[in-house]
Structure 1
Amino acid sequence: MEPLLLECGQEGVEKRLLDAVTTSHNHLASSIRLRWDGDPLYVSSVLGLNDSRQVDKARSKEWKMEVWKLHGLTVAASRSTVLRLYVVPVFQTQALLLYKSKTSPVWLSGGRGGKPTFNRVPPQDSSQEVRKVKTTAVRALYALGLDYGVAKVGIQPGNRIAVVDVIPNPRLNNEMGIQLAGAIQQYIRRLPRLLSPVDQVMMGADPEFLMRRKNGSLVMASNYFPRFGQVGCDAIWHGRDRSVKPLVELRPKPSTDPRQVVIRMYKGMITAARRVNEQQVEWLAGALPHPQYPLGGHIHFSGIPLTFQLLRALDLYLALPIMVAEDKNGVRRRPRYGFLGDYRPQFHGGFEYRTLPSWLVSPTLTRGSMAVAQLIAARYPYLPTDDWYDDKLQQAYYRGDKKVVRERMEGLWGALKRLGEYERSQKDLDRFYQMAVSGVPWNEKQDIRKAWKLPPYQK
């Protein structure tokens, strides 16, 4: 089906926009193409909502279920029951409304009890279940490569949250139509502001590492560091005692200069090395240097709009090169951790991109990761993301098939190099790329203090 062509001038009145994007039977247009003359360099994925190829694939329930499982989502069987069923209109990262079934249980096959009826969930409901349902609905949409639609999410026995379905062109009630039209209108209004000057993208990070004695026993970070601070402990605990925490987390002060953030990380590591000055203690980073503790290298952004297009660009141009460089253990971190498009809103109004493992394994990887992330965040409307929709590429990412991913690197990196701002951090970016495609993976059993030239400090 051809996408609806929407003139961006139509967005001036919400009612007119709602009329434009819905059919005579109150179904939402399954795909929208925006005609906007503001910047001729914007790539098609930024001016398209719900790629028509993905909409066509989403007609298959079997395909959707396979995709959700690949991305680590729990899927409800088509002929089963759930304790509660939620209906969630979604536009990109926003769960716009929630409706909860009145009856329990709900038969998904529709064979018993007829169709369920629903109550609107109050907007102020911030219960854990509601928060998880919203997150699952957004993840389910993102995994399918869609930008908007209605997700159905069920609560199974044991309070397990499972995806039931996603509908790209749902039938809308008046409330849903107004909310979705408003979200589309807001997206159109933000088009001129999706680009940012590179040197104005504020960035932070909270990469993790763990400490282990040479005999294999873990050294608890909580024995040396506070819960919060420039160098602190991650919230994960060890064993049954929640005060015993194994992971060290660096929290450098944010900056618009990626190198400044890296310098602050390095100063944090110097502080840590002075507190842990034992020769027999190793520092390990990467994806999974210890089988119980996957590590993350989350990167924080402030002052830029969060869109699915930005997340897809970060997946393609940052997560994939790092995956090609990772230790073979990295595949076991996914999909519970490291799934594509993983993000978390932050209290300051920004967000953190959470897909990456801990890139502290080397200064080259650290400097390159921060530089690539800033370049993508500032200029992603110019970066093609067609490769993101390739099922084989996503399967290769989750299954650790580096050969398939490496074959795409030259084309993806060429798109980055064509950006005029690439030269600003060319040295760090070139070294990062060479490390990624060299075919030599990092070794996450190696003490990272050697790469960072951090000797064990002596009293």
Structure 2
Amino acid sequence: MKLNILYKANPTGDRLLNYFKNEWEQVSSYEFEMEGLRYIDITAEIGIYPVNHYINRARAFINSINKDVIEGILALNGISASLPLTDTITKQYNVLIWDRTIISIQQIVYGKTTANKKYIEENKIIKIAELAKRALCLLGLDFAMIGVSVNGQRKIKITEVDTSPSIRDKDWQFLWLKLEEIKRQYQDGWPEPVEIKLGADPEFMIANSKNSKMIPSSDFFPRDGLVGCDNIRVPSRQQRPIAELRPKPDTSPFILFNNIKSALEQANKMVPYKNIKWLAGSQPFSGYSIGGHIHFSNLKLNNHLLRTLDNYLGLPIFLIENPTTAVRRRHKYGQLAEFREKDYGGFEYRTPASWLITPEITMAVLCLAKIVSSNYQRLNRNVFVNLEAHRAFYNGDQQYFRPLFEDIWGDIQGLDSYKEYKNELQVIRDMITEKRTWNEKQDIRKAWSLSTMFSKNYGLPKKSAKLSASSSSIHNNQRGSQRLSNRRLNGSSSTSNRNRVVSTNIGGSHVASIAPVLPSYGTTHS
């Protein structure tokens, strides 16, 4: 295998170079200068197998030196950052992170004339630790010291991103163990893939087909069970507007698909009315966002996995969804690398909207989730490593990503298991190639060939208060803990066009250190 790492020419960088020279078979390195500082590009090899592993890829490493890029990427994802720090702060936390593991946290408490420093455990400041982990992932980094500050008003900001910190001996021991773990894991080639179990809890909403008014799912479904209503309700009202399927998980995407279809058939029996329709997608009603959460078990959560899901699963779905409603949804839900760990030991990936639109799209999404999660270690492309990509994603700018899709799809086609799912996956490629997006207005009951031959019309119970768009703001404030407030899609988060472009060869990649901001392009949809 071959491993590449970039580091500042400081005591820890020198220690890294000596480690590789002593513990690996072949080592090459060279120094380069950037922004007046010296760095080391180290490449170490062991074994004979063609496995490439990167720690802080060149593009992300260079981004970390540009405060405008850092602030812009984090702001688009709802994270406040200020580099350099301009506020008066009461506390500073220097969080040293490897992937999703906290190595150490140094706390500095500022008094009028003193600064008290000590190291604390992660469980003392869980919110700070999770924020630092998310920042590391979104910036495309694998290892860094993330500085987080708290001011007198208890506002939290990212104030530093140091990809080359000088670390203490105790932290070096952890870093050494991680490098040894990588060597053991990959020196004999790619590890054997494990069998991933998939689950899902896709959501949909119900409307009156005559006047398009919302009908709460709680009028038909219980809280729990195979088909239920979302746990969120509008305050002071008993109705819960969103319906949710909870099919039995399985290692086979085909069996999971059949379980979803069975759940839909069960739901249809519980709503035997002809004057309704079921809606899926991003936001069937203004202010009410729904998702197509995909669950993964027997898979260790890490940043590379999350970024792979964003690039090879989230992005293809982004290119076939309705861009207008998707933008509205992502004001609060469906951010990049959005996940939630589950009690059963797995996690759910929460970025995609509800893909229940048609059975063909549903099958394709499940097969894509299976092939991507099973092979994520071999999928290394990250189109979200620059500010422009983040801006395009949250603007719903599908045109920005279309030229990048063929490379993404080419990586998927190169996997050994692609042939097993080729036919099912074709609908995604066809829709993207033909610039078609899904139709969120259609009744998914008809798309799924569910019976609609009912004789009765449904009327709201007299005591049931009608849900309206006016309650949407209340709903959004209540639903979930994920936040994305006051995103400045085209404002202060942008990179200055005056930035100088520096081209160099680092980590085996020819990259430009700072690129001017590209304008947003219009979206194309049917």
> Shared fold by TM > 0.5?
yes
Give the drift of 1:82: 4.1
SS at match of 1:359: coil
After superposition, give the CA deviation of every residue in 1:316-366 in whole Å (9 maximum; x if it has no partner): 111111111111211222253222222222222222222111111121221
Give the drift of 1:207: 1.2
- Which of 304, 310, 314 in structure 1 is aligned with 2:309? 314
After superposition, give the CA deviation of every residue in 1:87-130 in whole Å (9 maximum; x if it has no partner): 222111223443433347xxxxxxx756x4334334554xxxx3
Query: Where does residue 65 of structure 1 map in the other structure?
Result: 71
- Distance (Å, rounded) in 2 between the aligned partners of 1:8 and 1:373: 40
Query: Where does residue 207 of structure 2 map in the other structure?
Result: 212
- Which of 54, 57, 81 in structure 1 is aligned with 2:60? 54
Give the drift of 1:151: 1.4
- Which of 258, 261, 270 in structure 2 is aligned with 1:275? 270
After superposition, give the CA deviation of every residue in 1:262-301 in whole Å (9 maximum; x if it has no partner): 1111111111111122223321111122222221111111
- Which of 147, 151, 154 in structure 1 is aligned with 2:142? 147
Output aligned runs, 1:133-212, within 5 Å: 133-155=128-150, 159-191=154-186, 195-197=191-193, 200-212=195-207
- Distance (Å, rounded) in 2 between the aligned partners of 1:71 and 1:317: 19
Distance 1:165-1:235 versus aligned 2 partners, 3 A rule: farther
- Which of 425, 428, 431 in structure 2 is aligned with 1:429? 425
- Which of 86, 91, 101 in structure 1 is aligned with 2:93? 86
Query: Where does residue 260 of structure 2 map in the other structure?
Result: 265
Return 260-269 or 94-103, whichever deviates more: 94-103
Give the drift of 1:146: 0.5
The answer to whether the 8 Å contact 1:342/1:353 transfers is yes
Query: Where does residue 285 of structure 2 map in the other structure?
Result: 290
Q: Percent identity?
A: 31
Distance 1:118-1:194 versus aligned 2 partners, 3 A rule: farther
Query: Where does residue 120 of structure 1 map in the other structure?
Result: 119
Output aligned runs, 1:363-374, within 5 Å: 363-374=359-370
Q: Is residue 223 of structure 2 the alignment partner of residue 227 of structure 1?
A: yes
Query: Where does residue 324 of structure 1 map in the other structure?
Result: 319
- Distance (Å, rounded) in 1 between the aligned partners of 2:151 and 2:205: 35
* Letter in structure 1 aligned against 2:117: F
- Distance (Å, rounded) in 2 between the aligned partners of 1:280 and 1:295: 22
Q: TM-score, normalised to structure 2's length?
A: 0.73
Give the drift of 1:446: 2.1
In the alignment of these two chains, the number of paired residues is 424
The answer to whether the 8 Å contact 2:6/2:40 transfers is no
Query: Where does residue 101 of structure 1 map in the other structure?
Result: 108
- Distance (Å, rounded) in 2 between the aligned partners of 1:72 and 1:244: 30
The answer to whether the 8 Å contact 2:298/2:346 transfers is yes
* Letter in structure 2 aligned against 1:120: Y
The answer to whether the 8 Å contact 1:72/1:339 transfers is no
Q: Is residue 338 of structure 2 the alignment partner of residue 342 of structure 1?
A: yes
- Distance (Å, rounded) in 1 between the aligned partners of 2:46 and 2:384: 23
- Distance (Å, rounded) in 2 between the aligned partners of 1:364 and 1:260: 14
- Distance (Å, rounded) in 2 between the aligned partners of 1:202 and 1:180: 31
- Distance (Å, rounded) in 2 between the aligned partners of 1:270 and 1:159: 50
- Distance (Å, rounded) in 2 between the aligned partners of 1:187 and 1:295: 39
SS at match of 1:361: coil
Bigger radius of gyration among the two: 2
The answer to whether the 8 Å contact 1:258/1:371 transfers is yes
- Which of 397, 404, 417 in structure 1 is aligned with 2:413? 417
- Distance (Å, rounded) in 1 between the aligned partners of 2:143 and 2:41: 9
Q: TM-score, normalised to structure 1's length?
A: 0.83
Give the drift of 1:302: 1.4
**Structure 2 unmatched ranges of 5 or more:** 8-15, 25-38, 457-526
Query: Where does residue 378 of structure 1 map in the other structure?
Result: 374
* Letter in structure 1 aligned against 2:290: L
- Distance (Å, rounded) in 2 between the aligned partners of 1:123 and 1:426: 44
Return 386-395 or 205-214, whichever deviates more: 386-395
Aligned-pair RMSD on alpha carbons?
2.9
Query: Where does residue 304 of structure 1 map in the other structure?
Result: 299
